[in-house]
Amino acid sequence: MVEFHNIFPVVIGLNKNKDHKLFENKLIKECKTIKNSFKKGGNNWNVSTFNTCGTYDLTKNNKTECVASWFNIYKKHDYQERHGHYPNDISAVYYLKTPKDSGNITFYSHEPHGITKPGEVNNPLTWRSYWINPQPGLLLIFKSTLQHEVGQNKSNEEKISMALNFKII
């Protein structure tokens, strides 16, 4: 009998907020109001997605308790290149608006090469990447060092998400 030990587990938490519709429009309106009052953030990012990373911290409006938070508005063709959120400990993404074909989030294995010839396609121990199709009200929680990217928004509508970083003190 083979015994398995998960030495480097990568865990992604998913939770669908059943009450999302109760505040969806209010939060989308707030994001749009802030967008009209603050400049685009993410100065070291290579993409045109509007975000408030470094220009408006959502923790300053006393609605969250974390070390950093911002929102992203993806117009048609916007995407986010592969990145991580180090030196934070835990990161989260909450989806407010996700039209069809607005771009999946893809997570990448921390192993640089993985297994070159996996014996089973449906074996998560051999996956090099894993994608999730975002939906309004979906909350993703993951280790901040986990590399990820957001696929291109091919929809004519905007996709809106909130990102949060937490430090364990």
Q: How far apart are CA 159 and CA 37, in angstroms?
A: 19
Beta bridge partners of 97: 160
User: Which pair of tokens denotes residue 88?
Assistant: 């934070």
Torsion sign across C-alpha atoms 131, 132, 134, 138: negative
Which single residue is written with the structure tokens 């607005």?
102
The whole-chain average pLDDT of the chain stands at: 83
Q: How far apart are CA 20 and CA 15, in angstroms?
A: 11
Task: Give tens-digit pLDDT for 69-118.
Answer: 999 999 999 999 999 999 888 899 999 999 999 999 999 888 766 566 65
Q: Where do the domains of the chain lie, and which CATH numbers do they carry?
A: 12-112+125-166 (2.60.120.620)
